[in-house]
Amino acid sequence: MDLDKKIEAILFWKGEPMKLKKLADMFSVSVDDVQFGINSLKEDLLNRGIALIEKEDEVMLATAPEFSGIIEELTKEELSKDLGKASLETLSIVLYQGPIKRSEIDYIRGVNSQFILRSLLVRGLIEKITDPKDARTFVYKPSFELLAHLGVRNIEELPEYESVKRDIESFKTANKEPEITKEEELSNEEMDEEMMNRPDEEISEGDV
Protein backbone atom coordinates (compact mmCIF):
# COMPACT_ATOMS: atom_id res chain seq x y z
CA MET A 1 0.00 0.00 0.00
CA ASP A 2 1.30 3.49 -0.89
CA LEU A 3 2.59 5.58 2.00
CA ASP A 4 0.38 8.56 1.08
CA LYS A 5 -2.74 6.39 1.47
CA LYS A 6 -1.53 5.10 4.82
CA ILE A 7 -0.90 8.66 6.01
CA GLU A 8 -4.36 9.71 4.84
CA ALA A 9 -5.99 6.85 6.73
CA ILE A 10 -4.13 7.64 9.97
CA LEU A 11 -4.78 11.39 9.78
CA PHE A 12 -8.47 10.77 9.13
CA TRP A 13 -8.65 8.37 12.07
CA LYS A 14 -6.75 10.69 14.40
CA GLY A 15 -8.57 13.86 13.42
CA GLU A 16 -5.88 16.07 14.95
CA PRO A 17 -2.35 17.27 14.15
CA MET A 18 0.35 14.61 14.06
CA LYS A 19 4.09 15.13 14.04
CA LEU A 20 6.03 13.92 11.01
CA LYS A 21 8.39 12.01 13.31
CA LYS A 22 5.52 10.08 14.85
CA LEU A 23 4.21 9.12 11.41
CA ALA A 24 7.70 8.06 10.40
CA ASP A 25 8.05 5.87 13.49
CA MET A 26 4.60 4.41 12.93
CA PHE A 27 5.46 3.24 9.42
CA SER A 28 9.15 2.53 10.06
CA VAL A 29 10.28 5.00 7.42
CA SER A 30 12.27 8.22 7.40
CA VAL A 31 10.83 11.69 7.93
CA ASP A 32 11.82 12.48 4.33
CA ASP A 33 9.72 9.52 3.16
CA VAL A 34 6.77 10.85 5.17
CA GLN A 35 7.22 14.31 3.67
CA PHE A 36 7.23 12.79 0.19
CA GLY A 37 4.01 10.91 1.01
CA ILE A 38 2.44 14.09 2.37
CA ASN A 39 3.31 16.02 -0.79
CA SER A 40 1.72 13.27 -2.88
CA LEU A 41 -1.37 13.26 -0.69
CA LYS A 42 -1.63 17.04 -0.90
CA GLU A 43 -1.78 16.82 -4.68
CA ASP A 44 -4.42 14.08 -4.57
CA LEU A 45 -6.61 16.25 -2.32
CA LEU A 46 -6.64 19.27 -4.62
CA ASN A 47 -10.20 20.32 -5.51
CA ARG A 48 -11.59 17.91 -2.88
CA GLY A 49 -13.71 18.52 0.22
CA ILE A 50 -10.79 17.59 2.47
CA ALA A 51 -7.55 19.57 2.65
CA LEU A 52 -4.14 18.82 4.12
CA ILE A 53 -3.00 21.40 6.67
CA GLU A 54 0.70 21.76 7.52
CA LYS A 55 2.25 23.71 10.38
CA GLU A 56 5.92 23.44 11.26
CA ASP A 57 6.55 19.71 11.88
CA GLU A 58 2.86 18.74 12.14
CA VAL A 59 0.17 17.87 9.63
CA MET A 60 -3.55 17.14 9.78
CA LEU A 61 -6.63 16.66 7.61
CA ALA A 62 -9.31 19.33 7.71
CA THR A 63 -12.34 20.52 5.81
CA ALA A 64 -11.43 22.51 2.71
CA PRO A 65 -11.67 26.26 3.46
CA GLU A 66 -14.36 26.84 0.83
CA PHE A 67 -16.74 24.61 2.80
CA SER A 68 -16.19 26.26 6.19
CA GLY A 69 -19.60 27.96 6.07
CA ILE A 70 -21.44 24.65 5.72
CA ILE A 71 -19.45 23.05 8.53
CA GLU A 72 -20.06 26.03 10.80
CA GLU A 73 -23.82 25.74 10.31
CA LEU A 74 -23.79 22.00 10.97
CA THR A 75 -21.70 22.51 14.10
CA LYS A 76 -24.11 25.12 15.44
CA GLU A 77 -27.01 22.75 14.77
CA GLU A 78 -25.24 19.92 16.60
CA LEU A 79 -24.36 22.04 19.63
CA SER A 80 -27.92 23.33 19.93
CA LYS A 81 -29.30 19.83 20.50
CA ASP A 82 -30.18 18.69 23.99
CA LEU A 83 -27.86 16.26 25.71
CA GLY A 84 -29.00 12.66 25.56
CA LYS A 85 -29.08 10.18 28.41
CA ALA A 86 -25.64 8.76 27.60
CA SER A 87 -24.08 12.24 27.50
CA LEU A 88 -25.63 13.27 30.81
CA GLU A 89 -24.45 10.04 32.41
CA THR A 90 -20.89 10.51 31.17
CA LEU A 91 -20.89 14.19 32.10
CA SER A 92 -21.96 13.32 35.65
CA ILE A 93 -19.09 10.86 36.00
CA VAL A 94 -16.59 13.48 34.85
CA LEU A 95 -18.11 16.03 37.22
CA TYR A 96 -18.03 13.83 40.29
CA GLN A 97 -14.90 11.80 39.51
CA GLY A 98 -12.73 14.04 37.34
CA PRO A 99 -9.96 14.23 36.46
CA ILE A 100 -10.65 10.71 35.22
CA LYS A 101 -9.31 8.42 32.49
CA ARG A 102 -11.50 7.16 29.69
CA SER A 103 -10.85 3.58 30.75
CA GLU A 104 -12.37 4.39 34.15
CA ILE A 105 -15.37 6.09 32.55
CA ASP A 106 -15.90 3.06 30.31
CA TYR A 107 -15.71 0.76 33.33
CA ILE A 108 -18.24 2.72 35.37
CA ARG A 109 -20.67 3.00 32.45
CA GLY A 110 -20.05 -0.51 31.17
CA VAL A 111 -19.72 0.65 27.55
CA ASN A 112 -17.32 2.47 25.25
CA SER A 113 -17.57 6.22 25.81
CA GLN A 114 -15.29 7.62 23.13
CA PHE A 115 -18.06 9.11 20.97
CA ILE A 116 -19.83 10.63 23.96
CA LEU A 117 -16.61 12.20 25.21
CA ARG A 118 -15.93 13.60 21.76
CA SER A 119 -19.37 15.24 21.73
CA LEU A 120 -18.86 16.74 25.19
CA LEU A 121 -15.44 18.06 24.17
CA VAL A 122 -16.88 19.71 21.07
CA ARG A 123 -19.56 21.35 23.18
CA GLY A 124 -16.89 22.72 25.52
CA LEU A 125 -18.41 20.98 28.55
CA ILE A 126 -15.29 18.99 29.44
CA GLU A 127 -11.55 19.31 28.91
CA LYS A 128 -8.94 16.71 28.01
CA ILE A 129 -5.59 17.28 29.68
CA THR A 130 -2.37 15.34 30.02
CA ASP A 131 -2.41 12.96 32.97
CA PRO A 132 -0.07 14.46 35.61
CA LYS A 133 0.95 10.90 36.53
CA ASP A 134 1.73 9.80 32.96
CA ALA A 135 2.44 12.29 30.18
CA ARG A 136 1.56 9.67 27.58
CA THR A 137 -2.10 9.47 28.57
CA PHE A 138 -5.00 11.85 29.16
CA VAL A 139 -7.68 12.53 31.74
CA TYR A 140 -11.00 14.36 31.48
CA LYS A 141 -12.26 17.10 33.77
CA PRO A 142 -15.18 19.59 33.79
CA SER A 143 -14.59 22.83 31.89
CA PHE A 144 -14.93 26.29 33.40
CA GLU A 145 -17.83 26.86 31.00
CA LEU A 146 -19.69 23.90 32.48
CA LEU A 147 -19.20 25.09 36.06
CA ALA A 148 -20.36 28.57 35.08
CA HIS A 149 -23.42 27.10 33.35
CA LEU A 150 -24.24 25.08 36.47
CA GLY A 151 -23.84 28.16 38.64
CA VAL A 152 -21.19 26.70 40.96
CA ARG A 153 -17.87 28.24 41.94
CA ASN A 154 -16.14 24.89 42.43
CA ILE A 155 -16.84 21.18 42.13
CA GLU A 156 -17.62 20.79 45.83
CA GLU A 157 -20.73 22.95 45.39
CA LEU A 158 -22.38 20.35 43.14
CA PRO A 159 -25.57 18.80 44.60
CA GLU A 160 -24.76 16.05 47.11
CA TYR A 161 -21.17 16.09 45.89
CA GLU A 162 -19.64 14.05 48.70
CA SER A 163 -22.34 11.37 48.80
CA VAL A 164 -22.48 10.90 45.02
CA LYS A 165 -18.69 10.75 44.78
CA ARG A 166 -18.65 8.23 47.63
CA ASP A 167 -21.31 6.08 45.93
CA ILE A 168 -19.33 5.93 42.70
CA GLU A 169 -16.16 5.05 44.59
CA SER A 170 -18.03 2.29 46.43
CA PHE A 171 -19.26 0.89 43.12
CA LYS A 172 -15.73 0.83 41.72
CA THR A 173 -14.38 -0.84 44.86
CA ALA A 174 -17.16 -3.43 45.05
CA ASN A 175 -16.81 -4.39 41.41
CA LYS A 176 -13.02 -4.35 41.40
CA GLU A 177 -12.06 -2.71 38.14
CA PRO A 178 -9.83 -5.11 36.19
CA GLU A 179 -6.20 -4.17 35.66
CA ILE A 180 -5.19 -3.12 32.17
CA THR A 181 -1.70 -2.95 30.77
CA LYS A 182 -0.06 0.35 29.94
CA GLU A 183 -0.17 -0.63 26.25
CA GLU A 184 -3.93 -1.17 26.42
CA GLU A 185 -4.41 2.15 28.20
CA LEU A 186 -2.35 4.02 25.62
CA SER A 187 -4.35 2.31 22.87
CA ASN A 188 -7.54 3.55 24.52
CA GLU A 189 -6.14 7.05 24.65
CA GLU A 190 -5.44 6.93 20.93
CA MET A 191 -9.04 5.91 20.36
CA ASP A 192 -10.13 8.89 22.47
CA GLU A 193 -8.64 11.17 19.86
CA GLU A 194 -10.60 9.74 16.95
CA MET A 195 -12.76 12.43 15.41
CA MET A 196 -16.21 10.93 15.11
CA ASN A 197 -18.80 13.71 14.92
CA ARG A 198 -21.67 11.36 15.57
CA PRO A 199 -24.60 12.99 17.41
CA ASP A 200 -26.15 11.40 20.49
CA GLU A 201 -29.19 10.29 18.52
CA GLU A 202 -27.02 8.15 16.26
CA ILE A 203 -25.17 6.40 19.05
CA SER A 204 -26.20 2.78 19.20
CA GLU A 205 -27.85 1.21 22.22
CA GLY A 206 -24.55 -0.51 22.92
CA ASP A 207 -22.94 2.89 23.52
CA VAL A 208 -25.65 3.87 25.98
Number of separate domains in the chain: 2
DSSP states along 55-88: ETTEEEEEE-GGGHHHHHHHHHHHHTSPP-HHHH
Is the per-residue pLDDT at 208 higher than 50? no
Residues 45 and 125 reside in one and the same domain: no
Residues 103 and 33 reside in one and the same domain: no
> Would you call 3 exposed, middle or buried from its count of C-beta atoms within 10 A (0-12, 13-18, 19+)?
middle
Q: What is the CATH number of the domain that holds 146?
A: 1.10.10.10
Residues 107 and 203 reside in one and the same domain: yes
Name the average pLDDT for the chain: 79
Report yes or no on whether pTM surpasses 0.75.
no
Residues 125 and 56 reside in one and the same domain: no
37-67 residue pLDDT tens: 999 998 998 888 888 888 778 888 888 878 7
Residues 87 and 56 reside in one and the same domain: no
88-137 residue pLDDT tens: 899 999 999 989 999 899 989 889 888 899 889 988 889 998 888 888 88
Question: Residue 137 sits in which domain range?
Answer: 82-207
Inside any domain, residue 71: no
